[in-house]
Every structure is written in structure tokens, then in C-alpha cells.
Amino acid sequence: MMGLMASEETRTMTPPTVRSSAAHDARKTGGPSTRAWTTRLLVLGIVLSALNLRPAITSLGALLEEVRDGLGMSGSVAGLLTSVPPLCFAVFGVMAPRLARRFGAGAVVCAGMAAIATGLAIRPYAGGTAGFLAASALALMGIAVSNVLMPVIVKHWFPDRVGSMTGLYSMGLALGTALAAAVTVPVSDALGGSWQSGLALWAGLAAAAILPWLPFVRGRAAASGPGRRADGDGATRHPDPAAETSASVRTGAGHEDLPEAGREETPAPAPTAPAPTDPAPADPAREEAPRMRITRSRTAWALAVFFGLQATAAYITMGWMAQIFRDAGVPAGTAGLLLALTMVMGVPLAFVIPRLATRLPHQGPIVLALGVCGLIGYAGLYLAPAGGAWAWALLLGVANCAFPLALTMVGMRARTGPGVAQLSAFAQSTGYLISIPGPLLVGVLYQHSGGWGLPITLMSALMVPQMVVGWLAGRDRTVEDEAGR
């Protein structure tokens, strides 16, 4: 998602006639005050939801030592806990399109925020490791479906401002990630030093994110827009953007792939209050489904493995980096700030890297530059984790920006919207499955070796194939040419 902030405005290919038609429908069917109120409420809902898509992960990373001690959790089980996010994203994310077709995307996002709030409120007091894992999975389920559907709502309701709204959404996501890492420990100390309170406080932010979506739940207003039609059975039908783009959403976390998948699609009408009788425009991804076997493309496989390896590094960082610093003697509060620095690097670089990548015929040099930053950061963690902690956190934050680069390359390695949709689904679903064992293996190595030497060595070793497959994925070719039609 973040990788599209810079490139959406220049690469979205919506015909001007469709844009003007949507604007005309909006003027024709709704009053200015109603439209303004609806827009403000949607923007508030999008921002608050984005703020809630990562605190469940990074707040736990900041207090992982206390959680392990409090629950009697072994290093291996802690590794399993840090592997839960990509697993949930892969499993629950694919449910989002079906749920949205049934209930509407706005209602599902609202339910997702409720699941996050409930899971975060329950998990510190679940009374054991199994309950903690189950409550975490509930929160992550809400994150997974919201990841997938929020970009659909952005694209549907703001067809002429996809780039700016995507940027706003992405900055909210990065801010929530960094904020949870930075303030969880200090707030926990202020609340009496209880790790339960430090984790549970984020349920309040998720509960606040429910409120803006409530007016849109009835009638599927936020998902389908006001466009409704009656079928022959007399039942009211809502042309839901999630249903229209369902062919483009077959992915796990993919929080982020929907703008890529719909890059050439025709957006649905803009939001209005009354209900027009015309259905929303059809999705070209469904009308022109590519007849190709994506698994025949070497570029698709290279991109999927690259996506999986960068996701492995990202979840290891979010789950374990604060603990690495703490074991090196860095105070808990400072370790949280170091993790926050790593996460917040995604805000400025997510604007720069995609723009640079789209101007180069081969994105391999960017892959290598990010990989070198990661290798230097890991070497620093191995040799002097406390001495150069801020430098290592900064370098690893730069290396983590392989994520927006991967999403940008998804859009560049296919010629058509349907091709992008198929490549995005394959790369992300395969990639998140690849990323699941990494954090778990780090926990096992940490427990059995009693230190961070072997885990950091593993993390450094994984960076090498990431650079190799990233170089291959960055070559100027398309999956349509390789897979055939």
C-alpha cells in the first residue's frame, strides 16, 4: 500500500469520461451538505482505521520480555506468537471479498475494528498462552480484512484523489506502527508497570475507530456507495466495489495490493446520499480476465519470493528488534523508541522509492542498495548492538522499505489491470506464506543458543537471497510475456 503513494497519481489510468460521469452523478443525486458530511466521516474512518492496523504487533514487540515472563512463555512459543500476523493475514485476508459481497465493505471494516478492539482488550487478561494467542488471532483477523477492504473504499469513494487519500492512509498506518512502539513502555510504566495495561490501552483506539463506520453499516453505504438496484426478485442489490474487484483481491494480507490490482479499472460512482438507479461500472479485471498461468512466469516467482523474504525481515524486526536491544542493555523505553525509528522510516521513503523505481528500467539497483543497508544494520546488531543502536535502527528502517518497492514492482511487471491483479494475488499470498516460519525460527534459535548471534546470522543470510531474487524481479519484463495467454 505504502509503495503506491507516490505512483498512484501518475499511474492510475481512469478515463476522464468516467471521472466526469461520477462527478455528475454526485452532483445530481446528493446535496452539498450531505456529501460534505459523508466525506468528512469517511476520511475520519479511514485515518482512524489506518492507525489501528499495526499497534497490535508493535506494542507486543516493545513488551515481549514482560509478556514472556508473565505467561511463562518459552522462546519457541514467543517465536510462534511473532509468526501469527502473517499467518492470519494469509488465512483471513482471503475471506474479506466474500464477506464484503455479503455485508458490504464498510460493515466489514466496522466489524474488523470491533474485532481488533475486542482482541486487544481480552488478550492481556486471557489467563494463559493459549488464550493470549487466540485473542491475538481475533485482533489480527480484524486487521486482515480491514487491510484488504479499506483501499477498495478509498478507490471507490475518492476516484479522483486516490493518490492523496492513499498517502493519508499510508501515513496513518506508519504513524500507528511507530506510535505503538514508542509509547507502549512509557505508558505502561505510568500505569503502574503492568504490561497488561500497556497492551490493553490500544483497544481504546480501536474502539474509537468503530464509531465513524456505524452510519455506513446499514444499507452497505460505505462499501457500495449509494448505487442500489432492484433485481427481479424485488430485493435491493448494492453494486459493492469489493464485489466488483473480488477477482483482484484474492490475496492474504494484501492490505496493500488493491490499488495495484485495480490500477486500470474504472472506479465506481462517487459517494452521494440518495440512491441512483444505475449500477456501478463493471470492473475490467472481471471483463478481461487474463488467460495465463502465472506459475509459468519466472518473474512472478522471483517477485513472490522477494515479497516473502522482505516480509520475513519486517515481522522479525517488529517482533524481536526491541528485545535484541534490551538484551544488550538498552532500557526498555529506549528500545521502544529505536523500534519506532525503524518503523517511521517508512513514511518519507514510501514517497521517494516508488517514484524513483518507476523512472528506472531496472529496479535491481534499488534492491541492492536496500539490501546493503540491511546487511550493515545486522552486522551492527551483531558486533555492537548498544553502541550504535540508533544507526542500526535507522539502517534497518531503510532496509524495511523493500515493502513499498515490492508493491511498486507488482504494478510494473504486468501490462494490464487483470495481469496486475493476478500477479499481486500470487506474489502476496505466496509471499506471506513464505514469511510465516521466519519469526518462529528466530525464537527457536534464540531459546536454544541463549543469545542473538545465531538469529542475527540467519537474518543476515536471508538478506542475500532477497537481494538476488529482487534483482531478478526488477528486470524490465512482464509476466504476460513469460506466462503466455
Q: What is the pLDDT of residues 338-365, one digit of tens each?
A: 988 998 887 788 778 888 888 898 999 9
CB 135 within 8 A of CB 24: no
What's the grid cell of residue 421?
Answer: 491483479
Q: What is the pLDDT of residue 3?
A: 41
What whole-number distance in Å separates Cα of residue 221 and Cα of residue 390? 46
Q: How far apart are CA 281 and CA 333, in angstroms?
A: 51
Among 376, 385, 374, 379, CA closest to 335:
385
8 A C-beta contact, residue 273 and residue 35 = yes
Query: Which of these, 91, 6, 106, lies nearest to 49 by C-alpha position?
Result: 106
Question: Residue 310 and residue 462: Cα distance in Å, rounded?
Answer: 9
Joined grid coordinates for residue 369: 542498495
Residues 6+ apart with CB under 8 A from 254: 89, 93, 147, 148, 424, 425, 428, 429
Please name every residue paired with 225 in a beta bridge, in sequence order, or none if there are none.
none
pLDDT at 454 over 60: yes
Rounded CA separation 225/49 (Å): 19
More confident residue, 169 or 203: 203
pLDDT score, position 485: 52
Q: What is the mean pLDDT of residues 165-183?
A: 80
Q: What are phi and psi of 252, to 5 degrees?
A: -85, -75
237, containing H or E segment: strand 236-237
Distance CA 481, CA 435 (A): 28
230 DSSP β-pair partners:
236
Residue 271 has pLDDT above 60, yes or no: no
The torsion angles phi and psi of 230, rounded to 5 degrees, stand at -100, 130
Q: How far is CA 262 from the centre of its chain?
A: 16
* C-alpha separations of 319 from 127, 181, 447 in Å: 21, 10, 15
Q: For the chain, first and last CA: distance in Å?
A: 28
Which single residue is written with the C-alpha cell 466525506? 39
- Kindly tell me if the per-residue pLDDT of 393 is higher than 60: yes
Longest dimension (CA), the chain: 71
Q: What is the pLDDT of residue 61?
A: 83
pTM (two decimals) = 0.66
Predicted confidence (pLDDT) per residue in 282-321, tens digit: 433 333 444 578 888 999 999 999 989 999 998 899 888 9
Give the pLDDT mean for 237-241.
42
Report the mean per-residue pLDDT for the chain: 77
Residue 30 or 41, more confident: 41
Euclidean distance between CA atoms 125 and 118, whole angstroms:
12
CA 139 – CA 143 distance, rounded (Å): 6
Please state the rounded mean pLDDT for residues 470-474: 95
Cα gap 71→184, rounded to integer Å = 18
Computed on alpha carbons and rounded to an integer, the radius of gyration of the chain in Å comes to 22
When pLDDT is cut at 50, 70 and 90, the band that residue 417 belongs to is low
Which contiguous run of DSSP H or E holds residue 443?
helix 437-449
Q: Please report which helix (H) or strand (E) contains residue 229, including its range.
A: strand 229-230
**pLDDT greater than 60 at residue 19:** no
What residues does 229 pair with on adjacent strands? 237
DSSP letter at 270? Answer: P
59 in Cβ contact with 184 (< 8 Å): yes
Lowest mean pLDDT among 91-105, 193-207, 449-463, 464-478: 91-105
- Pairing assessment for the beta strands 236-237 and 229-230 based on DSSP bridges: antiparallel
Tell me how far apart the alpha carbons of residues 37 and 151 are, in angstroms, rounded to a whole number: 20
Q: What is the distance between the alpha carbons of residues 37 and 412, in angstroms, rounded to a whole number?
A: 37
Distance CA 92, CA 115 (A): 12
The whole-number average pLDDT for the span 131-158 is: 83
Only one residue has cell 500505569, namely 191
- Nearest 5°: the CA angle 65, 70, 75 is 50
Highest mean pLDDT among 171-180, 270-279, 422-431: 171-180
